[in-house]
Amino acid sequence: MTASSSGQKRTRAKVNGWVILDKPLHSPSTKAVNIIRRAFNAAKAGHSGTLDPLASGILPIALGEATKTIPYVMDATKDYAFEVTWGAETTTDDREGEETLTSDHRPTMDEITAIIPQFTGRISQVPPIYSAIKKDGKRSYDLARNNQEVELDPREVDIHSLVCLANDKEKASFNVTTGKGAYIRSLGRDMARALGTRGHISSLRRLRVGPFSLDASISLDFFEKIDNSADAFEALHPVSTALDDIPALAITEEDATRLRRGQKIEVDQSTLVSDADDVVMTAIYQGQLVAMVSLRHTTASPIRVFNLS
């Protein structure tokens, strides 16, 4: 008798690490996470920021202890390639929605180049009403789908760079690097308005999230076709991959024990590569990630402790 037929729950494995997934079009992020979790038979999984079903590209998926580093990946910069189709604004700000407003004006490349500085740096944008943002305790997209009027507050986001690669009569293609919380659908909609026309996102691909890029990514098809979880481990990256940009602190075995107990440790000032105070570092013992710590003067306090042994 199998575990499922006897009513017993399947035993999940303790799997720790990151999968750099190249999510295909039309696949919801939650579905992708579930496929990865089944491929590894993992006890715990999560992603570092939803990617719309009509968008493709990098969707980093955390397994086990890697889920503790998700907030740091969500705060990272992101690269996108996207396309704006001119002439129509939609309910969803992409090609999935119904047209709401139209315009006959088609901007030139010179006009686009002229407005790009308005959308670079710290800018204010109103998120799409079809988004996961909560309004009065409910998801905005749920309210919109129920034909309820939704008004979302503007928020400040960072656009680090924005380049128009090409433009023809009907559409233009762009590359952009953003900070946390920026909506490309809002960016396309607002640029069109600034150009005296209407527009919506007709193509969107995420090229990078923090340290995770397409060069190291793997397709969802790979995980759907594998026969056993052993094959999946070829695509698993260490938990510490998400923290590559955070300075490392080498610690002793005694220090590692104290940090795992949630206790502070004292650090030799001469071992520090920076005099900066109140910084976040990764504590490493014999090449293994032990904790993330907040260093103040020479005292390191644990922020996140990892059980990787």
Q: For 245-294, where are the alpha helices, taking DSSP H only?
A: 253-260
> Could you tell me what percentage of the chain is helix, strand and coil, using 3-state DSSP and rounding each to the nearest 5?
25, 35, 35
Catalytically annotated residue among 52, 79, 93, 190? 52
CA-based end-to-end distance of the chain: 34
State the sign of the Cα–Cα–Cα–Cα dihedral 102, 103, 108, 111.
Answer: negative
Non-local CB neighbours of 304 within 8 Å, separated by 6+ positions: 68, 69, 291, 292
State the sign of the Cα–Cα–Cα–Cα dihedral 177, 183, 185, 187.
Answer: negative
* Of the candidates 98, 57, 33, the residue with the CA atom closest to the CA atom of residue 209: 57
CB distance 105 to 196 below 8 Å:
yes
57: left (phi over 0), alpha (psi -120 to 50) or beta: left
* Residue 255 is among the residues annotated as catalytic for this protein: no
Non-local CB neighbours of 162 within 8 Å, separated by 6+ positions: 116, 119, 120, 174, 175, 176, 177, 187
**Residue numbers annotated as active site:** 52
